[in-house]
Amino acid sequence: MKKIFSRPESLKNVTTHYCAGCGHGLAHRLIAEVIDELNIREKVIAVAPVGCAVVAYDYWNFDCTEAAHGRALAVGTAIKRVRPDNIVFTYQGDGDLAAIGTNETIHAANRGENITAIFINNAIYGMTGGQMAPTTLLGQKTATTPKGRDVRFQGYPLNISLLLGTLPAVKYVERVSLHNPQEILKSKRAIKQAFQNQIDNIGFSLVEILSPCPTYWEMSSEKAMSWIRDTMTKEFPLRRIK
Amino acid sequence: MPRITIDKEKCKGCLLCVSVCPKGAIKAGTKMNKRGITFVEFKKGGNCLGCAMCAVICPDCCIEVYK
């Protein structure tokens, strides 16, 4: 009898602090699997965000650093310019990449830095207690929009992938989801493509991953997955944007 | 016969594996682990196919699949 599925070498054998059903654990594992498959574990440098994934360096078994809130792509730029032979990627949530770090994100993308950004979009601020994020859907109830997000007061959800897709220096943008095993495998392919682009010196790549937050969406894990499939993908359709 | 092993100390009881298993070979358990979480159990003699869908969706990487 052969073992056909086990923990990748790049993922430490520890229990994570994430809530039950959280998508961060899945995204961490997919990245670890891709790094093992591309055999770049000794060359990778990750930049962890501020947010729920702030201690991602405790879970990955490769070199990681930590950036100030929203500045992961600026830190990633510096690392890649000083050490161009290393594979640099940032792992950021929507509060980090799309709110406080919008400026750094857009400019790093516009400069066409040869780095990979993994963008976890769960439409809410997880770490601080379920407040509205720029990516929160219209009508979605959060701690700061108890009656649902209203376009008159909070505006429309920010579509970062579409925005970055318009920049000529951006080479690859794809939006994927984690709501079922098939989509998880597609997400892994997209992450692999984004790393391969960096290895081939193609340029800036971003993978947006729609990820569940059952705790602050106030749903069971299973229902959170169906909410992504039925509601979230209407606002954020799954496709290769560039 | 394909089978899976579940790391009961890492399981957080999210039940995503139960929701995707096409053969219903995993069930919500009754026992608690050290952290007070009711972990899932593999049904012995179930019809596990070894498709690894449970392992693919497990956010905590607690499932190993043998085929």
Q: What is the pLDDT along chain B (67 residues), one digit of tens a residue?
A: 899 999 999 999 999 999 999 999 999 999 999 999 999 999 987 899 999 999 999 999 999 999 9
Q: Which residues of chain A have pLDDT under 70?
A: none
Q: Identify the closest residue of chain B to A26 by CA–CA distance.
A: B59
DSSP class of residue A158 equals P
pLDDT score, position B15: 97
In this predicted model, what pLDDT tens digit does every residue of A52-107 receive, in sequence order?
Answer: 999 999 999 999 999 999 999 999 999 999 999 999 999 999 999 999 999 999 99
Domain harbouring B31, CATH code: 3.30.70.20
Give Cβ neighbours of residue A179 (< 8 Å, ≥ 6 apart).
A210, A212, A225, A226, A228, A229
Residues of B in contact with A214 (CB under 8 A): 14
pLDDT score, position A101: 96
Residue among A179, A166, A146, A233 nearest A206 (CA): A166
**Would you call B64 and A3 a contact, using CB atoms and an 8 Å cutoff?**
yes
Give the number of domains in chain B. Answer: 1
Q: Sign of the CA dihedral A209, A160, A193, A44?
A: negative
Q: How many angstroms away from the CA of B59 is the closest CA of chain A?
A: 4
pLDDT score, position A176: 98
Q: Identify the closest residue of chain B to A222 by CA–CA distance.
A: B16
pLDDT score, position B46: 81
ipTM over 0.85: yes
Residues of B in contact with A181 (CB under 8 A): 20, 53, 56-57
Distance (Å) of CA B46 to CA A22, A233, B23, B25, B49: 28, 35, 8, 5, 9
Identify the structural domains of chain A with CATH numbers, from first to last: 23-240 (3.40.50.970)
Structural domain range at position B22 = 3-66
> d(Cα A239, Cα A237) in Å, to the nearest integer?
6
**Would you call B12 and A222 a contact, using CB atoms and an 8 Å cutoff?**
no
Q: Identify the closest residue of chain B to A22 by CA–CA distance.
A: B59
